[in-house]
Structure 1
Amino acid sequence: MQLIKIDKARYRRHLNRVIAGCIALLTIGSLGIAQILIELFPDESGSHFHWNLLGVVVTAVTIGWLLNKYRTHSYMTEVVYVWDLKQVLNKITRKMLKLKPAAQAGNVDALLAMQYSYAGSRLLWNLDDNTISMDELALAQLELDRLAEKYQLTLNVDDYDAKILKQF
């Protein structure tokens, strides 16, 4: 997955609308389904927990299906890209305990995975205005740059392929 520049304003606007739409659909759908089921199948005890739960589950599955169906729509481009990038970075993060010692030993794939992780994190954190962790990221990047210089390597995030994580 290549790192690309994202229009922050468009991304935030679309993400906020998708989230608001999901919340509205979950609220209206789950309440609507539950009310219909309660009308059709009333419970003398007054407990309608199972109908309410069924309404939430059906609506949540429907929202998931709709998001998956429209993930290729142009409106969802930035939202889906960021979602996919977060999944890729999460895979790297889960391997980080093994990547760091390998990078110290000069493993090119480990160094490249860490470079991709840092560049991707920087991109995401800028999109989400998460500047609190940027200093920590800058220190980690400096350490990685020192290792790359030590082993006379040039790390290009465009060369990253998720398949290299299998060895760690």
Structure 2
Amino acid sequence: MKLIQIDKARYRKHLNYVIITCIASLTAGSLGIAQSLIALFPDPSGSHFHWNLTGVIISAVVIGLVLNKIKNNHFMTEVTYVWQLKKVLNRINRKMMKLKPASEEGNVNAMICIHYSYAGSRLLWELDDNTIIMEQLALDQAALDGLASKYNVNLQAEDFEASMLDQF
């Protein structure tokens, strides 16, 4: 997955719209479904927990299906890209305990994966205005750059391929 620059204002606007729409749909859908089920199948004991839970589950599944259906829509371009990037970065982070020792031993693929993780994290944190740990990221990047120069490796985020993670 290639790292691309995203229009921050457009991304935030579309993400907020998706979040608000999902919250409103979940609320309206779960209440509507639950109330319909309660009206159709009243419980003499007065406990309607199972119908309320059923309403939430059905609404969540429908929202998930709708999001999956529209993820390739032009409106969702930035939001979908960020979701996919987060998925890749999570996969890298799960492998980080193996990647770091391998990079210290000179494994080029491990260094590329870590470099991509740092570059992708920087992109995400800037989009979300989460600059609190950027200093630590800069320190980690400097340490990785030191390893790269030690082993005479040129690190480019464009060289990353998800299949590289399979060896770790």
- Fold similarity call, TM over 0.5: yes
Provide the residue aligned with 1:21 in structure 2.
21
Unpaired stretches in structure 2, ≥5 consecutive residues: none
Counterparts of 2:95 and 2:57, CA distance in 1: 33
| CA distance in 1: counterparts of 2:32 and 2:69, whole angstroms | 23
AA aligned opposite 1:127:
L
Q: Deviation of residue 40 (structure 1)?
A: 1.0
Shift of 1:138: 0.3
Deviation >6 Å, runs of 4+: none
- Deviation track 1:76-129 (CA, whole Å, cap 9, x = no partner) reads 000010000001000110111111111111100000000100000000000011
Letter in 2 for 1:111: M
Normalising by the residue count of structure 1, what TM-score does the alignment of the two structures yield?
0.99
Alpha-carbon distance in structure 1 between the residues aligned to 2:62 and 2:134: 37
1:139 maps to: 139
- Name the count of aligned residue pairs: 168
Tell me the equivalent position of 1:11: 11
What letter corresponds to residue 122 of structure 1 in structure 2? R
Per-residue Cα deviation, 1:46-71 (whole angstroms, up to 9, x for no partner):
11111111100000000000000000
SS of the residue aligned with 1:5?
A: coil
Q: Which amino acid aligns with 2:148?
A: A
- Cα distance in 2 for partners of 1:22, 1:115 equals 34
1:167 is matched with: 167
Q: Normalising to structure 2: TM-score of the pair?
A: 0.99
Quote the residue 2:73 is aligned against.
Answer: 73
Q: CA deviation at 1:2?
A: 0.3
CA offset at residue 41 of structure 1? Answer: 1.0
Distance, in Å, in 1 between the alignment partners of 2:107 and 2:36 is: 60
Residue 58 of structure 1 corresponds to: 58
State the match for 2:86 in structure 1: 86
SS of 2:155 mapped into structure 1: coil
C-alpha deviation, 1:43, in angstroms: 1.1
Measure, in 1, the Cα distance between the counterparts of 2:41 and 2:104: 65
Q: Which residue of 2 aligns with 1:107?
A: 107
